[in-house]
């Protein structure tokens, strides 16, 4: 049985309020890291990341399935970062790879929306953390119902046409290693969500377009972009 989204979160004003934090990971798809090319060896990077590059999607970014995503004034299009979210059900601190997935209660679909930007050096708060920039849901699927989360497809469709297709088998850090590496230096608690990353070539969408992120065996998340001015 799926874990209903209302059982895991308290809804307020149409936006999901998760009991935990939502963390994203940069450059965890092999093609996203490869897209940096030789620049990964130049300042400010100087080398490929040796540890997960994390950022947060704060509470103001959370949005439900069916909610509108506001395209701020002066911005032509937003990048649609379809990804898989790992929802933790147990405290995870310095876990071993062999035990990592046992800490995951279930999986959900996430659209990690951002204003297009090129630099990974400075935390892109202004680009990643606008209101409604993290649609999530519409449900959490219990981990026992996703037998191989390390090999599921992620599809991003714009107006019903598939614009990107990726698979979690192409992660730089597969799920157990990602969890082990993250919990080596920080503790994840029940309700926390860890996004596995966004593949290269995440499509752009504009006001008036409808975006659906589908994760094999987990579900589909649909939102429509609207023109407006976000704070």
Write out pLDDT tens, residues 43-101.
Answer: 655 656 677 889 999 999 999 999 999 999 999 999 999 999 999 999 999 999 999 99
Give the total number of structural domains in the chain. Answer: 1
Q: What are phi and psi of 224, to 5 degrees?
A: -110, 140
- Quote the pTM value: 0.88
- Report the CATH number that the domain containing residue 102 is assigned in CATH: 3.90.850.10
In this predicted structure, what is the pLDDT of residue 126?
84
pLDDT tens for 168-183 read 999 999 999 999 999 9
H-helix segments, 71-172: 97-100, 125-128
pLDDT at 29 over 90: no
Helices (H), the chain: 5-8, 30-34, 97-100, 125-128, 175-183
Mean pLDDT of the chain: 86
Confidence grade of residue 19 (pLDDT, cut at 50, 70, 90)? confident
Residue 150: which domain range? Answer: 5-227
Does the pLDDT value for residue 14 go beyond 80? no
Q: Would you give the DSSP letter of residue 99? A: H
């Amino acid at each position: 049985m799926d874990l209903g989204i209302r059982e895991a979160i308290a809804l307020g004003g149409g936006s999901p309020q998760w009991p935990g934090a939502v963390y994203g990971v940069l450059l965890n798809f092999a093609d996203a890291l490869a897209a940096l090319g030789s620049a990964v060896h130049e300042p400010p990077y100087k080398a490929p990341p040796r540890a997960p590059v994390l950022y947060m999607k704060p509470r103001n970014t959370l949005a439900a399935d069916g909610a509108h995503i506001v395209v701020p004034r002066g911005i032509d299009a937003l990048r649609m970062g379809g990804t898989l979210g790992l929802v933790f059900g147990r405290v995870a601190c310095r876990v071993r790879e062999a035990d990592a997935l046992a800490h995951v209660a279930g999986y959900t679909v996430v659209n990690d929306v951002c204003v297009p930007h090129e630099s990974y050096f400075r935390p892109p708060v202004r680009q990643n953390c606008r209101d409604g920039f993290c649609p999530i849901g519409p449900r959490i699927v219990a981990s026992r119902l996703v037998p191989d989360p390390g090999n599921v497809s992620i599809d991003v469709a714009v107006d019903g046409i598939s614009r990107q297709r990726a698979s979690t088998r192409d992660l730089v850090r597969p799920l157990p290693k990602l969890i082990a590496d993250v919990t080596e230096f920080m503790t994840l608690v029940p309700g926390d969500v860890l996004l596995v990353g966004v593949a290269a070539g995440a499509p752009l969408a504009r006001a008036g377009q409808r975006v659906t992120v589908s994760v094999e065996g987990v579900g589909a998340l649909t939102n429509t972009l609207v023109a407006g001015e976000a704070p």
